[in-house]
Amino acid sequence: MHEREFWQLVDEVFGHAFGRSLAKDEHMPRLHDWTAEEALAHGIRPRVVWNMLCDQMQVPDSARWGHDHVAPPLPPKSQSYYND
């Protein structure tokens, strides 16, 4: 997943205004208590940030991928959450 796709999903799943507010203000304890914006800025993979945000907001798998998106697999636990 690219960051562009992350933002498309934020808008589609949460709505533009609420989604952007979540990305800016919602801290995620599982990601160093960063917000989604901070996690992305620190190099955390967009796919990981998206899943952590959806988990925290209790978005079921069936609703978190929008209409035209295919869920890529999460990186293996042995692989870093950070971009290479």
Contact (Cβ atoms closer than 8 angstroms) between residue 28 and residue 56: yes
How far apart, in whole angstroms, are the C-alpha atoms of residue 62 and residue 28? 21
Whether 82 maps to a domain, the answer reads no
- What is the pTM (predicted TM-score) of this model? 0.79
How far apart, in whole angstroms, are the C-alpha atoms of residue 32 and residue 16? 25
Whether 81 maps to a domain, the answer reads no
Contact (Cβ atoms closer than 8 angstroms) between residue 34 and residue 22: no
Whether 83 maps to a domain, the answer reads no
Q: What does the pLDDT profile of the chain (84 residues) look like in tens digits?
A: 899 999 999 999 999 999 999 999 999 999 999 999 999 999 999 999 999 999 999 998 888 887 766 665 565 665 566 665
Burial class, 75, CB count within 10 angstroms (exposed 0-12 / middle 13-18 / buried 19+):
middle
Provide the domain count of the chain.
1
Whether 68 maps to a domain, the answer reads no
Whether 32 maps to a domain, the answer reads yes
pLDDT of residue 61: 84
| Residue 21 structural domain | 3-63
Contact (Cβ atoms closer than 8 angstroms) between residue 44 and residue 82: yes
